[in-house]
Structure 1
């Protein structure tokens, strides 16, 4: 079994166990927070992820790409300067975020200490990103897989113990505990990464040969990090806006704000939690594809590039189609694990195109990043969100459509994204759209 397939299956195996735990986490949260509390949780989560995206600066991708494309003797030198760079970035983002939160009270309806917890999250994310990029670039997928499992297991354990031992009558306090637990998992992962990294320092320093200057290393890292961060940042901003857009459209359609919040909670906290359960495989492909495609592209291995695309699409078909069929026909018993809600059943069934095309879009985006076509992936994402948000607002605000319009917009947006990614890749590596085989040119 080649390195790409082996790494993918290691990641997928651990991610499957992690997603099972994540499923239990969402069940615990749904029952403890209630419908409105779950809506509040899902509303603030994109803001936290937005801050994490900026602090992360997509260093896992840029570092893993650097390691895959350069000789191992240059790795220690790069890691040293990547750590210095991450320190400067985290300090800058910490003070910028502090100023932004002081000017715009995003967390005014939440526990007063929440913003300080989020601020402490920033340096943890930055240093964790450096080490995650190192292990990914070295194809040490076992460490990445174990870290993903530890994150979910720690979160479930703390939530279960705290909510069993204490009864919180205040929703704000329950939300604070839930978010603190989520953020605390990253600190645990950082500790695990650090211990593992220290044990490998002797191997890393063997044959150490700094060929690149610090400025060249920063330039190479930023050459990937900045456009990739722009892509992730755009997605994070859109995800942060989306809850307010959806709820505003639903209010315009005639719903009360409380009703809109509850429907949003059903959509994201239940239907999307179930629908994205199989996406662990897509994200495993993403992590494994970037260094594999980067290495093949750097060595001009056209057959390997074609093979990687074919393998990733075949694996997505193999798990994606059965997953969607199972979710569609077992929608009611699955949603009943969270709430007894006919709306959640309908949302899960109606969103099947959204989930299926998302499974394809994730590895395709990773493939584009590996090829160095991050800007193309960015433009595709912009167009897909323009389509999605326009349809969601226009259709969702209609009295006789409401949530159906929201779902139509979500489905259309991800279809546009997937098609644009796929067509671009086929053109770049010169393969047929239908057979994924190299085109032959007649002279």
Structure 2
């Protein structure tokens, strides 16, 4: 547990600094791109994240889980097979992307170089994922923390220098914004691969044992494929969400330009502020996947119950404090981006979405570690269908507009958090009131204390 707390602290501390930098990044983007340009930037981000997801093939999750569950003498063999899988998968994906990406309609709205920038991400993200998964599995969160912080610093420095000393028209300014995002990922790739090579040289000098190639690949794919499917569905819905929201707003009577501007203020301002405390939730997610996987493989249910209890209390503590601040100081916070009351209202109305999202992220780590990816996927499908349905129904009505969109988003977040929590409690024998139950009588004596 000491390693667990230390890892959370490292990741949370670096993520806090990173989120502070992200806040500055979004302020620069808002001022340089304007409301319409920021709307375009936020509209293409889900598509970029979708490609990033495909490139990672969720190897950080599967490798970290497998590494945490196996003895150290098997790690060299696991990494050999993981690298082989990555080379094959990346080659296929890059060839497919070369053919498909130039014809994706959304890229026609942006500078021609954008699609080539995005294609560069495929090999970068794929090989970074192997290193990231290994360091996560070994609980070497310091390297993960440095890489996350480095990404934000490079992006901020690039934006500040380029926009401070050079002038761009709206199209090229948008290209610069996307280019600095891609460039920051390349810097992270160079750092993590360098650290991974050093670590791998040490592993090669230690005694090792081989695992059956088919068994290793089966174990990695057993996590990567369903987790990728789950993340792919989420990324796809996030990529579609801008069009769903803007279509609903246009149907409610707004012009397309106004709908784009409102979406830009929703995602670029309200969401940027509201997700600021999510660095704690994300840190918990990264640390919990290997920790829960290890405890579950040992059938150590008291430890799982204790971790869940601690996570819920910590999330409630910082989550309530955060949304309270957002609600009462919304005008002051949003004025850092735009001198408009609209994003402040969005931020206040979205407090349930943010609060329950803080719970969702660590609970997804529990679902993955407990081998309940299928159940998590079903939960996401249900919550998304209901959320999108409400967005289209209420958001397209003139008397509701963006308020209806926000109601749909809030409902989806609350529903997903509740389904995750009830399922986890049932799996580990944990009552809703946070008391351990049935598993203790089935455990060996050394695990009951």
Contact 1:73 1:206 in 2 (8 A): no
Aligned to 1:399, the other structure's residue is in SS state: coil
Matches within 5 A, 1:75-224: 75-169=75-169, 171-224=170-223
Query: Which stretch shows the higher mean deviation, 214-223 or 254-263?
Result: 214-223
1:416 aligns with 2:421: no
**Cα distance in 1 between the residues matched to 2:241 and 2:278:** 20
Aligned to 1:106, the other structure's residue is in SS state: helix
Aligned to 1:210, the other structure's residue is in SS state: coil
**Cα distance in 1 between the residues matched to 2:197 and 2:208:** 19
Shift of 1:211: 2.6
Aligned to 2:432, the other structure's residue is in SS state: coil
**1:432 counterpart residue number:** 431
Shift of 1:203: 2.9
Contact 2:429 2:439 in 1 (8 A): no
**Cα distance in 2 between the residues matched to 1:196 and 1:324:** 38
Query: Which stretch shows the higher mean deviation, 187-196 or 350-359?
Result: 187-196
Shift of 1:441: 10
Contact 1:36 1:258 in 2 (8 A): yes
1:338 aligns with 2:337: yes
**Cα distance in 2 between the residues matched to 1:317 and 1:326:** 14
Name structure 1 gaps, 5 residues minimum: none
**1:48 counterpart residue number:** 48
**2:379 counterpart residue number:** 380
**Cα distance in 2 between the residues matched to 1:221 and 1:356:** 33
**Cα distance in 1 between the residues matched to 2:435 and 2:21:** 36
**Cα distance in 1 between the residues matched to 2:196 and 2:424:** 35
**2:447 counterpart residue number:** none
**2:446 counterpart residue number:** none
Shift of 1:439: 4.8
Count of equivalent residues: 441
Aligned to 1:218, the other structure's residue is in SS state: helix
**1:21 counterpart residue number:** 21
Q: Deviations over 1:402-442 (max 9, x none)?
A: 00000000000011100000000000001111124325999
Name structure 2 gaps, 5 residues minimum: 442-449
Q: How has the CA–CA distance of structure 1 residues 180 and 431 changed in structure 2, closer, same or farther, with 3 Å as cutoff?
A: same
**Cα distance in 1 between the residues matched to 2:435 and 2:390:** 32
TM normalised by structure 2 equals: 0.96
Aligned to 1:200, the other structure's residue is in SS state: helix
Contact 1:155 1:181 in 2 (8 A): yes
**Cα distance in 2 between the residues matched to 1:438 and 1:319:** 28
Q: How has the CA–CA distance of structure 1 residues 339 and 88 changed in structure 2, closer, same or farther, with 3 Å as cutoff?
A: same
Matches within 5 A, 1:313-324: 313-324=312-323
Matches within 5 A, 1:340-355: 340-355=339-354
Q: Deviations over 1:7-41 (max 9, x none)?
A: 11110000000000000000000000000000000
**Cα distance in 2 between the residues matched to 1:440 and 1:65:** 23
**Cα distance in 1 between the residues matched to 2:438 and 2:319:** 27
Q: Deviations over 1:108-132 (max 9, x none)?
A: 1100111111111100000000100
Contact 1:76 1:208 in 2 (8 A): no
**Cα distance in 1 between the residues matched to 2:412 and 2:136:** 30
**Cα distance in 1 between the residues matched to 2:196 and 2:152:** 21
**Cα distance in 1 between the residues matched to 2:418 and 2:361:** 12
**2:251 counterpart residue number:** 252
**Cα distance in 2 between the residues matched to 1:285 and 1:217:** 27
Aligned to 1:168, the other structure's residue is in SS state: coil
**Cα distance in 2 between the residues matched to 1:415 and 1:158:** 37
TM normalised by structure 1 equals: 0.98
